[in-house]
Amino acid sequence: MSPIDALAELLGPRHCLRDAADTAPYAADWRGSYRGAPLAVLRPGTVAEVAAAVARCGAAGIAVVPAGGRTGLCGAAVVSPGGPAAVVLSLERLNRIRDIDARDFSLVAEAGCVVQRVQEAAAEAGRFFPIAWGAQGSAQIGGMLSTNAGGIRTIRWGNARDLVLGLEVVLPDGRVLNDLRRVRKDNSGYALRHLFLGAEGTLGVITAAALRLVPALKRVETAFVAVPSPDAALTLLSRVMGSGAEVIAFELVQRICLEMVAEHGPHLRLPLPLDSPWYVMVELAAAHPDVPVRAMLEASLAEALEAGECTDAVLAGNEAQRTAFWRIREDYPEFARMAGPAISTDTAVPVSAVPEFLARVEQVLAERWPEGRMVAIGHAGDGNIHVGLRAPPGVTREDWMTRAGAADMAVNEIAVALGGSFSAEHGIGVSKLHVMQALKDPLAIEVMRGIKRLLDPRGVMNPGKVLPAN
Amino acid sequence: MSPIDALAELLGPRHCLRDAADTAPYAADWRGSYRGAPLAVLRPGTVAEVAAAVARCGAAGIAVVPAGGRTGLCGAAVVSPGGPAAVVLSLERLNRIRDIDARDFSLVAEAGCVVQRVQEAAAEAGRFFPIAWGAQGSAQIGGMLSTNAGGIRTIRWGNARDLVLGLEVVLPDGRVLNDLRRVRKDNSGYALRHLFLGAEGTLGVITAAALRLVPALKRVETAFVAVPSPDAALTLLSRVMGSGAEVIAFELVQRICLEMVAEHGPHLRLPLPLDSPWYVMVELAAAHPDVPVRAMLEASLAEALEAGECTDAVLAGNEAQRTAFWRIREDYPEFARMAGPAISTDTAVPVSAVPEFLARVEQVLAERWPEGRMVAIGHAGDGNIHVGLRAPPGVTREDWMTRAGAADMAVNEIAVALGGSFSAEHGIGVSKLHVMQALKDPLAIEVMRGIKRLLDPRGVMNPGKVLPAN
């Protein structure tokens, strides 16, 4: 019996897909940027099945590529063409919320739960699960944790990693490391779970997690603000944070991004005229209804107007307006794709270094690629700005990659020089391996390789991802 | 030249202590519970000196025991008698705050900085460093991070681990892993820093850390509350948390603890009569001055009185009263020591399991050690209760350890059975090795041993700590 036949017997033929028509959706990521054909697609229905499947793949020398919603941006959940023969291990059938405990502010979810479902379950229990980003309606908990997802709320509640209390992981040899505890304090040895969080499936398969919930929000206020410069934006951030208000989002948006929205999303009404070089979206919240959030936001903005940190501001008057503000931000990536080819990046710098970062990037891009156009948008409150370099009209994607592909590295180098990261929230996958090789501390890579060899000596788990080849 | 002579040459004779009179303070922990004589005490003044000293010790087969304020409770910072010949590496001279950036809400401190000094530096910059516990006036940042310290504020801001942005570590071979970045989002490979946080110096020497600061608190309100039972206390916690107020401490105190305070601390005025079996200290805060924290606390307590969750409550009327409330909690460990020998524990369970944990513990202790008296106090908001078993009058510490030493394991077993931890915040050191051996998942220990061998193949760093012998 072939190894794949044995896996079909283990999981049942309906859950070991081999026909090209059935495996096709799993042979590419969500956007279609990465493609690779798996030997088969495994859809185990229990942790024991995950463990048995991983063990058998290891014994047969077949690589395992874990996959969730496949919404990642770096190709981690797709088979690498040219790599070893591999199956895709989809966690989609492990989609139960095993437990929710409102008094404990915790929830235990399996890897295949869609993120939005976890948000909804928390809300039904009068609680809030704060990780949020555009793909939350498709992304799954396993992928969220394996990429240590960020998004628009990290300024207040951290990345996905920070909301994990316990983890259940199938190791590359098929044994199960069960640390699925809802305990908030545990100093019994090394913090193993942090190895698997953000490891993109290269050290094992996350099958379930105990997640921290927070009190439901009772007051949320959002402002759209015109600011003269990134420096002014950061001074405004410092003012609002320093006021003691609870800032749950602080996004910086370059005017060109809103111009693209105006051009491609005529149904979206822009809240302010496009006469400012930069804009900020700031959101304050409170879990207690008696916190005067609106007055707090108005007071900070009034001071900022007085101080010249902003030139105009509008608060969402109701929930519909607030949703409309966020539609602009959330739909932007789609409008950006419609607007033509661009080099994109995912850097972070210390929050206070954002203005210098943008100034240096603007200068370097203008000098080296004067025909391109810089676009910048991002989570300024975390120092995480997504800078892009747009092609001039008429230039194809291939042409632009050839001419300006190095812009990616130029931006990354500036971020690293300022004490930042070349991968803030998207991860490495395959698309950033060359940047890991070029810019990551070689000693850190050496330690990471040692950990990979220790946990996965046969190289079963997601080979060719995260760590550049030796 | 002997290896110690070479170390004296490297660091200067004043910073390589060999006389027994000089090394004596470093041969014991703060409380005098653990003792072990070092070959010498090294006091490097720079990271390069730390690196060179560690490398030389490794080459000479001398073990290295890193030490900070030596306030840890498990003996991790003291040479193990019977273990390999070892030096104590004191980080006390690496005591600079290298950088503080208010706009960035961050601070870079060297390992030897006293924790309170970091709190003060943050306050001077209009910010707040939230880790706080009794020993903060002596404990150092390196020890705080190496033990992943908890304390009374973890309910709101997490453990020490959660406040680290970046780390600088001397590896066991003397190389420096420099990841001292103030960046808030970084998904460039495995999260190596979490290995060293809480590793008690067994994987390397933390020499500096970039720490997260939070906005300064503008409103703090504290209540001392009489509650009929732990279940009522947890219902009260759920009510206050669910109200959306910012709970920054929630301590549960058994009446006997206050009786010990009354007996041994006659200068401390107890805020409530001692007619309730349990008490709670709850503290709410806000960083914005317009948050009506006092009204919020009063409203929750009024509801709780109405619902029978509490029977009496008093709010601190001013800062002096608030300080007096906390004196009771902070001085309790000293009064407990004066009150005679006791077996002590450091468990955590899921927050909602605290009442069941205490009920089971009470039953087991009463059955097996009817002559002892249970005492319970702790951070109930984190599920972290310190249960003790007091000796009857006249019984010596040695006697009590012989008769009731197993109470420790009995309590630990109950915590683990409820999905909890046998070491919530104190760590393992040497005092809990037997518990690691008995109650930790063997697969987790196997992975930890692999990581130890990977990073420290010669076993230079703090041998005999954290991981039980094979």
Which helix (DSSP H) or strand (DSSP E) does residue A152 occupy? none
B423 touching chain A per CB within 8 A: yes
CA distance A291 to chain B (A): 5
A445 interaction partners in chain B (CB closer than 8 Å): 189
A93 touching chain B per CB within 8 A: no
Window A:257-286, CB contacts with B under 8 Å: 286
CA distance B38 to chain A (A): 24
Q: Which residue of A has its CA nearest to B159?
A: A185
Q: Cβ A419–B286 below 8 Å, yes or no?
A: no
Look up tokens 């500036």; give the residue.
A414
Q: How far apart are CA A34 and CA A432, in angstroms?
A: 13
Write down the ipTM of this complex: 0.97
* pLDDT at B194 (0 to 100): 98
Q: Cβ B101–A427 below 8 Å, yes or no?
A: no
CA distance B347 to chain A (A): 8
A245 interaction partners in chain B (CB closer than 8 Å): 287-288
Which of A69, A111, A103 lies closest to A210, judged by CA?
A: A111
Domains of chain B: 3-90 (3.30.43.10), 97-215 (3.30.465.10), 219-338 (3.30.70.2190), 342-426 (3.30.70.2740)
Q: Cβ A191–B198 below 8 Å, yes or no?
A: yes
> For residue range A131-189, what is the model confidence (pLDDT) as tens digits?
999 899 999 999 999 999 998 899 999 999 999 999 999 999 999 999 999 999 999 99
Mean pLDDT of A239-246: 96
Q: Cβ B189–A424 below 8 Å, yes or no?
A: no
User: Which residue, among A108, A145, A187, would best test binding to B if mutated, counting the most B CBs under 10 Å from its CB?
Assistant: A187
B130 touching chain A per CB within 8 A: no
CA distance A350 to chain B (A): 5
Task: Please list, residue by residue across A310-332, b when 16 or more beta carbons sit within 10 angstroms of its beta carbon and e when fewer do.
Answer: bebbebbeeeebbebbbebbebb
Q: Cβ A423–B384 below 8 Å, yes or no?
A: no
* pLDDT at B462 (0 to 100): 98
Q: Cβ A421–B103 below 8 Å, yes or no?
A: no
Of A183, A290, A296, the CB nearest to B419: A183
CA-CA-CA-CA dihedral for B459, B461, B466, B470, to nearest 10: 10
Alpha helices (runs of H) in A219-267, residue ranges in sequence order:
230-243, 255-264
B220 touching chain A per CB within 8 A: no
User: Which residue, among A190, A300, A356, would best test binding to B if mutated, counting the most B CBs under 10 Å from its CB?
Assistant: A190
A235 interaction partners in chain B (CB closer than 8 Å): 103
* pLDDT at A87 (0 to 100): 98
A101 touching chain B per CB within 8 A: yes
Q: Cβ B177–A447 below 8 Å, yes or no?
A: yes
Alpha helices (runs of H) in A96-175, residue ranges in sequence order:
115-124, 141-146, 154-157
Mean pLDDT of A409-424: 98
Of B184, B424, B450, the CB nearest to A351: B184
Whether the pLDDT of residue A352 is over 90: the answer is yes
List all residues 6 or more positions away from B2 whose beta carbon is below 8 Å from its beta carbon. Answer: none
CA distance B197 to chain A (A): 8
- Is residue A418 within 8 A of residue A357, CB to CB? The reply is yes
Q: Cβ B192–A444 below 8 Å, yes or no?
A: yes
Window B:54-83, CB contacts with A under 8 Å: none
* pLDDT at B268 (0 to 100): 87
* pLDDT at A440 (0 to 100): 98
Whether the pLDDT of residue A333 is over 90: the answer is no
Residues facing residue A343 across a β-bridge: A389
Angle at B280 between CA B274 and CA B283, to 5 degrees: 135
Of B186, B234, B382, the CB nearest to A185: B382
pLDDT in tens, chain B (470 residues): 899 999 999 999 999 999 999 999 999 999 899 999 999 999 999 999 999 999 999 999 999 999 999 999 999 999 999 999 999 999 999 999 999 999 999 999 999 999 999 999 999 999 999 999 989 999 999 999 999 999 889 999 999 999 999 999 999 999 999 999 999 999 999 999 999 999 999 999 999 999 999 999 999 999 999 999 999 999 999 999 999 999 999 999 999 999 999 999 888 899 999 999 999 999 999 999 999 999 999 999 999 999 999 999 999 999 999 999 999 998 898 899 888 999 999 999 999 999 999 999 999 999 999 999 999 999 999 999 999 999 999 999 999 999 999 999 999 999 999 999 999 999 999 999 999 999 999 999 999 999 999 999 999 999 999 999 98
Look up tokens 């203005």; give the residue.
A355
Query: Residue B182 is encoded by which pair of tokens?
Result: 């103030």
Query: Residue A312 is encoded by which pair of tokens?
Result: 């105009």
Residues facing residue B387 across a β-bridge: B376
Which of B204, B239, B208 lies closest to B223, judged by CA?
A: B239
Which of B328, B356, B348, B367 lies closest to B229, judged by CA?
A: B356
* pLDDT at B458 (0 to 100): 97
User: Which residue, among B147, B190, B426, B435, would best test binding to A if mutated, counting the most A CBs under 10 Å from its CB?
Assistant: B190
Mean pLDDT of A227-242: 97
Q: Cβ B161–A384 below 8 Å, yes or no?
A: no
* pLDDT at A316 (0 to 100): 98
* pLDDT at B16 (0 to 100): 98
* pLDDT at A20 (0 to 100): 94
Look up tokens 């739909």; give the residue.
A331
Which of B89, B61, B40, B67 lies closest to B200, judged by CA?
A: B67
Residue A395 to residues A263, A366, A372, B345: CA-CA distances in angstroms?
19, 18, 10, 68
Q: How far apart are CA B312 and CA B271, in angstroms?
A: 10
